[in-house]
A and B are shown apart, each in its own frame.
Chain A
């Protein structure tokens, strides 16, 4: 089972913290990869918050293609972060790992955020396409104040390889996923967390309804709904579709992926809407076994389960610092000093939503609406 560790905090924290939390949850062989997504960046990116950051990996040739593409499209490089990689056994280093902050092309600087987001996504997809066949470019995310790092190997070793323990890279929200490869060949685009236009999620378990969901999302006419090297990527896209494209409040994500029974819907004050959503978005219903941790562009972090709670999940912490983990020992590692009796284990109807800066935990109950 893949291990998930997310920390949301008022202060900037090091990515080592969730990686160490992952380590406490380790059981048996678990070396398929580490994925990290950092949001609300500190350190050297603290002053670059409004500039989109392109995160990825490229080869020597890929770098030329990438530079050329960015230049041709009017993106100006503002800052580049490169990990100080250390040789670690079993991890084959690629040529360039990077997170680069760019300034928008002239014509886009004054455009509304929606348009900027579309430009960034198209750019990321274009880069992906340019480098996908020969693996010369991997572009994981391109968005302001967000960095994604991924590599194959044992999570702790990968973190060591990237020198994260000594790096100044920090953020307020950090997602880490230790991947246990079961179904697919190890491929970087299949590594969680997945990101699209400010929305991010990571999942454990298998998505049994992957094919119909993928087909449905692909048919939405939105160019970003592509990739799908992992059956979990659809969780991120459903989140994006529900909240950004349809404009639903976040908790309706739960109604979309795990709809209630007809009799249960009748008791909701928004029954008419929920009933319609259930029919209209029938294809997006999941059956698990899954636990999903995600964040939205405004900095809220949440946890939900499939309707049978076939995967574990725990949330705990103190005001200003909360941990959302696939197992409780992860919470212990991330926030050892806390009132454990207040730890929360979301059940089938629950959606835990933590407000930005880890100020408040709300448990939304689907039955009560």
Chain B
């Protein structure tokens, strides 16, 4: 019998409490140590165990105990070092001897508050269920009633507008000799409008992303524009941009974001007189779908030399942007002022639009913008959006799904007849299950002028491990095993920026083909089917009613 003290394991956790249980196979392991070296959270350790075996040899039982010392790989039972299921160990293991296994009964959230602070992580909402977007189907197919279009033969123009579009009634036109000419004497302000590709890369900052990741995205975007003729744009996120890029002709492919911390804006303002091109647009970030009500957060571990330079801050300090813009005390005044000053900085040549998190209050913001002739659009980021760092509670429990939020806003614009004047950009969960084109098309038919993607491109272009089962999600601590969201050169050298750029191009080209495959049978090709909601159906009556689309089963 063992002494009582040995059986008292209170205040220790069993493996069943952990979100991932590491399955290690003694018979396959060759004890090379690669897994323990690669594990970003030190969730596994090489240990030495004593094994007691009783053997009996010969015809008469002569049991004899022998003790052997064995080396093993063991999972650590410290919730601060819980296995995140990233699978890096599996990737490096030459013998396929180790693999994390999801433990759905885990009680991780009961323990992730050590030191009195809530659980922070990166990633997205941990909700693996099928999103509304993925439930939508395209059901109005022209076949025999009228010829459908041919995705391979007919000309398609998959383009959208970013910027405040002048209403027909306001166009300063006059008839001269039977032709329409711009009325030069008119003092009507025609806001800048860009023709862009309807899928854009949403805001992810230099800082949140590693240098090769950001560079790879930027190179991919430039290639798409210059070689493939696809005007894809990308948003800088909060944190500025490398000054060389700011002063380059490539700036026109980028949307520069300004957020509540104004990080990076010293450099942007300094570069202004040297800019040879205008940026595609300016995005004023008021909210983020993944963490509504929370400001940006770049944790100290990621504030290394390059980042401190671009952002104009000291190294190794937490960079938290306030949840709201400090100058903001009323939406009417502050948003208008912000839009005005940003427009002014570029001589009213650049569209300026706000981004908010999906919320029941989105319509109020929208109506305010609808009245502001300088507002160039509204980006609504739904709850399925991602983030580099946030409290788990914000990510999992706060926010509004994008589908109904976007639809509601669009229909509100329709009521005012302004659906073409103020483009809506939808984000948050586009491509959540990999259906990039289908999700984008569905949002467009619900009323979006375009969509923004983030996590999807990280997964598709750089193999991010993250998923809706809280896999990996270490983006906040600078330990990204893929080198995507880290500033540690030892980690980010794993990522090849050329390869990322190549994948970006592949992703967009494939999405383009798929969009045509969706739009062709529905008979839309020369313009996007914005608001063509009669093309959509869903197998859920409540969703159909809420979105104002048909029910099909």
By a beta-carbon cutoff of 8 Å, the part of chain A in contact with chain B is 182-183, 205-206, 208-212, 215-216, 218-221, 241, 245-249, 252, 258-259, 261-262, 269-270, 272-274, 276-277, 279-283, 285, 287-289, 307-308, 310, 369
B524 lies within 8 A of A209 (CB): yes
Q: Assess A283 versus B530: contact at CB under 8 Å? Given A209-B524, A270-B180, A273-B182.
A: yes
Chain B residues, Cβ within 8 Å of A279: 161, 165-166, 193
Known contacts A276-B166, A280-B167, A288-B523; 8 additional CB pairs below 8 A are: A209-B529, A216-B417, A216-B419, A219-B416, A261-B155, A273-B171, A279-B165, A279-B193
Chain A residues with Cβ below 8 Å from B47 are: none
Kindly state the separation between the CA atoms of A241 and B534 in the bound complex, as whole angstroms: 24
Could you say which residues of chain B place their CB within 8 Å of the CB of A215?
A: 414, 419, 531
Bin the interface of chain B by size.
Answer: 35 or more
Known: A259-B526, A269-B179. A212 touches B532 (CB 8 A): yes
* Shortest Cβ distance from residue A269 to the other chain B in the assembled complex, whole angstroms: 7
B181, A287: Cβ atoms under 8 Å? no
Bound form: Cα–Cα A259–B157 in Å: 11
**How distant is the Cα of A212 from the Cα of B531 in the complex, in angstroms?**
5
Query: What residues of chain A lie closer than 8 Å to B165, measured between beta carbons?
Result: 279-280, 282
| 18 pairs from A and B in contact (CB 8 Å cutoff) | A182-B145, A208-B522, A208-B523, A209-B524, A212-B529, A218-B414, A219-B416, A252-B180, A259-B526, A261-B155, A273-B179, A277-B180, A279-B165, A279-B193, A281-B420, A287-B523, A307-B526, A369-B179
Q: Are A287 and B524 in contact (CB under 8 A)?
A: yes
One of B145, B166, B171, B526 near A258 (C-beta < 8 A): B526
- Docked CA distance A277–B155 (Å): 21
Tell me, rounded to whole Å, the shortest Cβ–Cβ distance linking A234 to chain B. 13
- Most chain-A Cβ atoms within 10 A of its Cβ — which of B523, B524, B530? B523
Closest CB in chain B relative to A366 CB, distance in Å? 13
Closest to B423 in A: A282
Q: Is B154 within 8 A of A308, CB to CB?
A: yes
Are B149 and A287 within 8 A (Cβ)?
yes
* Chain A min CB distance to B209 (Å): 32
Find the residue from B142, B168, B182 having the highest chain A CB count within 10 A.
Answer: B168
Residues on A with beta carbons closer than 8 Å to the beta carbon of B417? 216, 218-221
Is the CB–CB distance between A206 and B171 below 8 Å? no
Are B149's CB and A246's CB within 8 A?
Answer: no
Q: Given the complex of chains A and B, what is the CA–CA distance between A69 and B201 in angstroms?
A: 60
Q: How far is the CA of A287 from the CA of B142 in the complex (A)?
A: 12
Q: Which interface residue of B414, B418, B526 has the most chain A CB atoms within 10 A?
A: B526
Given A280-B420, A285-B526, A287-B149; A210-B180 close (CB under 8 Å): no
Q: How far is the CA of A287 from the CA of B525 in the complex (A)?
A: 6
Assuming the A-B contacts A212-B531, A249-B180, are A283 and B166 also in contact, with contact meaning beta carbons closer than 8 angstroms in the complex? no
Top 10 closest A-B pairs, CB basis? A219-B417, A208-B523, A273-B180, A206-B146, A212-B531, A285-B527, A211-B534, A270-B179, A272-B182, A215-B414
A281 to B161, CA, bound (A): 12
Interface SS of B by simple majority: loop
Residues of B within 8 A of A308 (CB): 149, 154-155, 525
* Chain B residue contacts of A248, Cβ below 8 A: 173, 175, 180
**B415 on the interface (CB 8 Å rule)?**
yes
**Whole-angstrom CA separation of A308 from B155 in the bound complex:** 9
Q: Nearest Cβ distance between residue A305 and chain B, in whole angstroms? A: 13
A285 nearest in chain B by CB position: B527
A22 CB to nearest chain B CB (Å): 20
Chain A residues closer than 8 Å to B147, beta-carbon distance: 289, 310
User: Of A247, A282, A289, A307, which is within 8 A of B146 by CB?
Assistant: A289
Tell me the smallest distance from the CB of A27 to a CB of chain B, in Å.
Answer: 15
* Shortest Cβ distance from residue B447 to the other chain A in the assembled complex, whole angstroms: 9
Among A183, A219, A247, A274, the most chain B Cβ lie within 10 Å of the Cβ of A219
A277 CB contacts on chain B under 8 angstroms: 168, 171, 173, 180
Q: Are B527 and A282 in contact (CB under 8 A)?
A: yes
Nearest-neighbor residue (CB-CB) of B528 within chain A: A282
Q: A216-B417, A273-B182 are in contact. Are A287 and B530 (CB under 8 A)?
A: no
| Cα of A181 to Cα of B529 in the assembled complex, Å | 25
Cβ contacts under 8 Å, A249 to chain B? 175, 178-180
Complex interface bits, B154-189 against A, C-beta within 8 A gives 1, otherwise 0: 110100010001111101010100111110000000
- Give the Cβ gap from A210 to chain B, nearest Cβ, in Å: 7
Tell whether, in the assembled complex, residue A276 and residue B173 are in contact, meaning their CB atoms are under 8 Å apart.
yes
Question: Which residues of chain A are within 8 angstroms of B365 by Cβ–Cβ distance?
Answer: none
A282 with B175: CB separation less than 8 A: no
Most B C-beta atoms less than 10 A away, residue of A215, A270, A285, A369:
A215
Would you call B15 an interface residue if the criterion is a C-beta within 8 Å of the partner chain's C-beta atoms?
A: no
Cβ contact of A276, chosen from B190, B415, B523, B524, cutoff 8 A: B190
Contacts of B532 in A (CB 8 A): 208-209, 211-212
- Whether A216 lies near B420 (C-beta < 8 A) is yes
Question: Which residue of chain B lies nearest to A211 when distances are taken between CB atoms in the complex?
Answer: B534
Measured CA separation A241–B171 after assembly (Å):
14
Q: Which residue of A is nearest B163, CB measured?
A: A279
Bound Cα distance from A183 to B526, whole angstroms: 23
Interface of chain B residues 484 through 532 with chain A (CB within 8 A): 522-527, 529-532
CA distance A220 to B522 in the complex (A): 26
Contacting residues, chain B, for A206 (C-beta < 8 A): 142, 145-146, 523
Contact A280 B146 (CB under 8 A): no
Report whether A212 and B179 are in contact in the complex, using a CB–CB cutoff of 8 Å: no
CB-based nearest A residue for B150? A308
Contact of A280 among B168, B525, B531 (CB under 8 A): B168
Residues of chain A within 8 A (CB-CB) of B523 are: 206, 208-209, 287-289
> Please, which residues of chain A bring their CB within 8 A of the CB of B529?
209, 212
Q: Say yes or no: is B195 at the interface (Cβ < 8 Å to chain A).
A: yes
Which B residues are CB-close (under 8 A) to A272?
Answer: 181-182
CA distance A282 to B522 in the complex (A): 18
- B288 proximity list for chain A (CB < 8 A): none
Contacts of B171 in A (CB 8 A): 246, 273, 276-277, 280
Which residues in A have their C-beta under 8 angstroms from that of B167? Answer: 280
CB-CB < 8 A to A270: which residues of B? Answer: 179-181
Give complex CA distance A218, B415 in Å.
8
Interchain CA distance A119-B529 in the complex, whole Å: 36
Pick the residue among A182, A211, A219 that contacts B418 (CB under 8 A).
Answer: A219
The reply to whether B414 and A208 form a contact with Cβ atoms under 8 Å apart is: no
Closest to A248 in B: B180
Which residues of A are found within 8 Å of B142, using beta-carbon distances?
206, 208
Chain B: minimal CB distance from A306 (Å): 9
> Are B180 and A280 in contact (CB-based, < 8 A)?
no
> In residues 201-237 of chain B, which contact A (Cβ within 8 Å)?
none
Contact of B533 with A by CB under 8 A: yes
The answer for the CA separation of A285 and B531 in the assembled complex, in Å, is 13
Q: Cα distance A273–B167 when bound, in Å? A: 13
**Alpha-carbon gap, A261 to B156, bound state (A):** 10
Instruction: State how many angstroms separate the Cβ of B527 from the closest Cβ of chain A.
Output: 4
A348 to B469, CA, bound (A): 53
Indicate if the CB atoms of A261 and B414 lie closer than 8 Å: no
Interfacial chain A residues near B524, Cβ < 8 Å: 208-209, 287
**Distance of A124 from chain B, by nearest CB (Å):** 23
Chain A residues within an 8 Å CB radius of B178 = 249
Residues of B within 8 Å of A280, CB to CB, are 165-168, 171, 420
Partner of B157, one of A210, A211, A261: A261
Minimum CB–CB distance from B230 to chain A (whole Å) comes to 14
Within 8 A of A (CB), among B414-463: 414-420
Do the beta carbons of A210 and B414 come within 8 Å of each other?
no
